[in-house]
């Protein structure tokens, strides 16, 4: 062999050895689409991870997962609860836990390591954990409490539930398990519990009511403690749907609260909602409503925590069962972008308006100095009219109006708690000083979905379109996929959701978001398989069965499977999918779906003022037949895949 060939031979060997002997490591570890979750259900526990390598086309050949009660046991490999051993598989998502039955309210630790096709083995991953929640109703020692004063569902101040308690030993850890009829905000020793908003979320409450689990260890202390929980009307009994319809799920708000503090000696102190709690309607939130906004009197903040006040009354113990309580599977609603106004100006009508330069959903935080008792009114709008004036006619009955009563302090920082607005512009009334851009901050609020895809081009208009799509998703993905976030119709319209699902999945991680929503679709589906046009179904089972809307029952589950490879969800929704197609078949004649109410081509273009869709160019029954065929194929494909 010549020297040149010899050198090339050894160079090739070196490159080959270098290429195949690379270090690989793991990241992006998840359990049920979440990182280190607490308070989870155990009906299906699935692990996932990502492989990192500098070598292209590195493929996993095998994995090994181990689970233990303690971190020390996990690292040492001793006293393991479950160890898969080496499993020959390239699966790195939705790997199902098949170990012994897990206990309620316990923390477990896990790790994974993998080997690739080139026989490189990773180190054990960083230690991960998960914590189980309430696994059956008997885990709840707390009872539901309400105000003893009946409000009969009328608009009233948001009640505050309160309790003082003593913890006598050194605290090792503490968990708060909490839910409400209405929306809650909990405080412990003067600090807000968690960073979640609009909890417990919007579900089909009587069938599925979520509770949240919080690690509140840092908020407690040995000695005297106190907790306050404010409960707003929210979706439970506030205005919902058109014409300010109230009390959809109930007339009285309530609280279920279970705090468990574990001492360093292993004993546990429990503080539960019961008849010893107090309630007051003299808090700062004088009224709150998702559509109409909130009135907040900052003068009452300090007084509302004085438990010696005569305003505190005994609570009533309510007899609700806990069979409908479930752990959340979707992401929480949290704060995201903070946006400063691009200008503050006077309209032709002389009104003071701030322009944030971006249509968003959330609210405006104000930092103001005014006289004691001054009332500031904030109205929200998406556009100005042709003359440049503030325009709200498109909101219909939704007021989108927040009011704040100032304390006279050097600076009052105020924001709402149980409402959200869709807006680009805000009108400020009642402020007697010059309004500065620094006085306002818009805060975008939506479900905590991580970006998964991005798109940009050399065309500015196309880039702006993509930006609009992303912001439209953020604004309409606040716990449920809504049709609009501003007027009096912020409902989970099924047709809108199924059309947008694939785009949503390209933009953001919507796996948990839609997994949660599809559970409500299943429980709100009629016994005959018919599907409501909004989920959760707050319309008294009316307007169900429309082609393209009801077909969400098959379209999203199968598209979800294609996007995430999640056979577990496909199997879970399969009966719902079959039931919908069965319903269509039951009302069809010779397999032709030519009956029933349909919205048809709802967004067709016409110059006519046609609000019932009669002028649509495409026949509604033709559309129905196409969806019938598509849903049937989805069920066939799902049966093969699962």
Bridge partners, residue 405, by sequence: 297, 375
Distance in angstroms (rounded) separating the CA atoms of residues 599 and 603: 10
**Residue-wise pLDDT tens digits, 139-171:** 999 999 999 999 999 999 999 999 999 999 999
Per-residue model confidence (pLDDT) at position 613: 60
Rounded to an integer, what distance in angstroms lies between the CA atom of residue 360 and that of residue 387? Answer: 23
The stretches in the chain having pLDDT less than 70 are 1-21, 243, 540-542, 607-615
Q: Which CATH superfamily is domain 23-132 in?
A: Immunoglobulins (2.60.40.10)
Cite the residue boundaries of each domain of the chain with CATH code 1.50.10.10. Answer: 492-641
Which phi and psi (to 5°) does residue 241 adopt? Answer: 70, -155
What are the φ and ψ backbone dihedral angles of 112, each rounded to 5 degrees?
-140, 150
* Buried-state track 443-471, b at ≥16 Cβ within 10 A, e below 16: bbbbbbbeeeeeeeeeeeeeeeeeeebbb
Strand partners, 379: 401, 427
User: How far, in Å, are 106, 181, 194, 271, 397 from residue 178 at the CA level?
Assistant: 17, 11, 12, 12, 33
Q: What is the pLDDT of residue 506?
A: 96
- Beta strands at 80-83 and 60-68: parallel, antiparallel or unpaired: antiparallel
Residue 182 gets the label, from left (phi > 0), alpha (psi -120 to 50) or beta, of: left
**In angstroms, how far apart are the furthest CA atoms of the chain?**
101
In the chain, which residues fall in CATH 2.60.120.260?
A: 137-326, 333-447
What CATH number labels 333-447? 2.60.120.260
Residue 43: strand, helix, or coil? coil
Provide long-range contacts, Cβ within 8 A and 24+ apart, for 530-533: 530/580, 530/583, 531/494, 531/580, 531/583, 532/494, 533/493, 533/494, 533/495, 533/599
The structure tokens listed for 16 are: 């080959």
Reading the block at residue 28, the tokens are 């992006």
**Residue located via tokens 């390598």:** 53
pLDDT of residue 464: 97
Joined tokens for residue 314: 């005994």
pLDDT of residue 617: 79
Helix (H) or strand (E) holding 564: helix 552-564
Q: Are 304 and 171 in contact (CB under 8 A)?
A: no
Among all chains, which residue has been given the structure tokens 């279920």?
256
Minimal CA–CA distance to 237: which of 225, 226, 253?
253
Predicted pLDDT at 603: 78
Q: How far is CA 508 from the centre of its chain?
A: 13
Residues 618-637 as b/e (b if ≥16 CB within 10 A, e otherwise) read eebbebbbebbeebbebbee
For the chain, report the end-to-end CA distance as a whole number of angstroms. 57
Please, are residues 482 and 492 in contact by the beta-carbon 8 Å criterion? yes
Burial of 269 (0-12, 13-18, 19+ CB in 10 A): middle
Q: Is the pTM of this model over 0.75?
A: yes
Q: Where along the chain do the CATH 2.60.40.10 domains lie?
A: 23-132
Of 518, 516, 514, 628, give the one whose Cα is nearest residue 576. Answer: 518
Which residues are CB-neighbours of 514 under 8 A, at least 6 positions away? 330, 481, 497, 501, 504, 556, 560
Residue-level pLDDT at 401: 98
Fold classification of 492-641 is Glycosyltransferase (1.50.10)
pLDDT score at 14: 45
CATH 2.60.120.260 fits 137-326, yes or no: yes
d(CA 67, CA 35): 16
Report the alpha-carbon distance of residue 485 to residue 504 in Å, rounded. 16
d(CA 53, CA 59): 10
Q: Which residue has the tokens 């850890």?
A: 173
């Amino acid at each position: 062999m010549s020297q040149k060939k010899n050198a090339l031979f050894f160079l090739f060997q070196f490159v080959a050895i270098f290429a195949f002997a690379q270090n690989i490591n793991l990241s992006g570890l998840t359990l049920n689409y979440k990182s280190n979750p607490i308070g989870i259900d155990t009906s299906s526990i699935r692990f996932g991870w990502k492989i990192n390598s500098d070598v292209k086309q590195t493929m996993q050949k095998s994995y090994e997962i181990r689970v233990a009660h303690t971190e020390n046991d996990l690292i040492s490999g001793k006293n393991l609860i479950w160890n898969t051993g080496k499993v020959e598989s390239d699966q790195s998502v939705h790997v199902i836990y098949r170990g012994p039955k897990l206990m309620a309210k316990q923390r477990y630790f896990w790790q994974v390591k993998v080997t690739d096709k080139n026989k490189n083995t990773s180190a054990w991953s960083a230690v991960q954990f998960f914590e189980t929640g309430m696994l059956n109703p008997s885990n709840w020692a707390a009872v539901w409490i309400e105000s003893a004063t009946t409000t009969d569902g009328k608009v009233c101040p948001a009640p505050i539930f309160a309790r003082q308690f003593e913890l006598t030993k050194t605290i090792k850890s503490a968990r708060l398990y909490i839910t409400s009829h209405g929306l809650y905000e909990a405080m412990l020793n003067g600090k807000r519990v968690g960073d979640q908003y609009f909890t417990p979320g919007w579900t089909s409450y009587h069938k599925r009511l979520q509770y949240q689990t919080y690690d509140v260890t840092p908020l407690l202390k040995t000695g005297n403690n106190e907790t306050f929980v404010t409960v707003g009307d929210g979706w439970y009994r506030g205005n919902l749907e058109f014409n300010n319809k109230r009390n959809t799920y109930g007339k009285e708000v309530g609280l279920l609260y279970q705090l468990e503090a574990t001492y360093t000696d292993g004993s546990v102190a429990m503080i539960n909602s019961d008849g010893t709690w107090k309630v007051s309607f003299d808090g700062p939130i004088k009224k709150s409503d998702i559509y109409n906004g909130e009135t907040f009197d900052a003068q009452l903040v300090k007084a509302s925590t004085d438990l010696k006040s005569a305003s505190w009354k005994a609570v009533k113990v309510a007899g609700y069962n806990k069979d409908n309580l479930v752990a959340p599977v979707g992401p929480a609603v949290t704060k995201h972008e903070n946006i400063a106004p691009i200008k503050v100006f006077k309209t032709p009508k002389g009104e003071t308006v701030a322009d944030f330069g971006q249509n968003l959903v959330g609210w405006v935080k104000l930092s103001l100095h005014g006289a004691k008792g001054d009332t500031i009114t904030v109205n929200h709008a998406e556009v100005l009219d042709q003359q440049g004036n503030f325009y709200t006619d498109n909101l219909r009955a939704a007021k989108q109006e927040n009011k704040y009563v100032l304390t006279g302090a050097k600076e009052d920082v105020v924001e709402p708690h149980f409402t959200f607005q869709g807006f680009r512009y805000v009108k400020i009334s009642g402020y007697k000083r010059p309004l500065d851009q620094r006085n306002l901050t818009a805060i975008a609020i939506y479900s905590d979905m991580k970006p998964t895809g991005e798109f940009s081009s050399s065309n500015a208009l196309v880039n702006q379109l993509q930006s609009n799509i992303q912001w439209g998703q953020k604004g309409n993905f606040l716990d449920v996929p809504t049709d609009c976030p501003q007027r009096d119709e912020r409902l989970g319209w099924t047709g809108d959701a199924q059309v947008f699902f694939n785009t949503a999945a390209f933009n953001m991680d919507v796996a948990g978001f839609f997994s949660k929503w599809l559970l409500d679709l299943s429980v709100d589906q009629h016994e005959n398989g018919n599907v409501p046009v909004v989920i959760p179904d707050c319309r008294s089972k009316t307007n169900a069965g429309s082609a393209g809307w009801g077909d969400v029952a098959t379209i999203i589950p199968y598209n979800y499977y294609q996007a995430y490879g999640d056979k577990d969800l496909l199997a879970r929704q399969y009966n719902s999918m079959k039931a919908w197609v069965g319903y269509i078949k039951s009302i069809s004649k010779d397999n032709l779906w030519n009956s029933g109410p349909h919205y048809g081509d709802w967004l067709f273009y016409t110059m006519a003022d046609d609000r019932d869709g009669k002028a649509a160019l495409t026949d509604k029954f033709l559309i129905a037949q196409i969806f019938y065929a598509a849903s049937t194929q989805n069920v066939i494909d799902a049966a093969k895949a699962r």
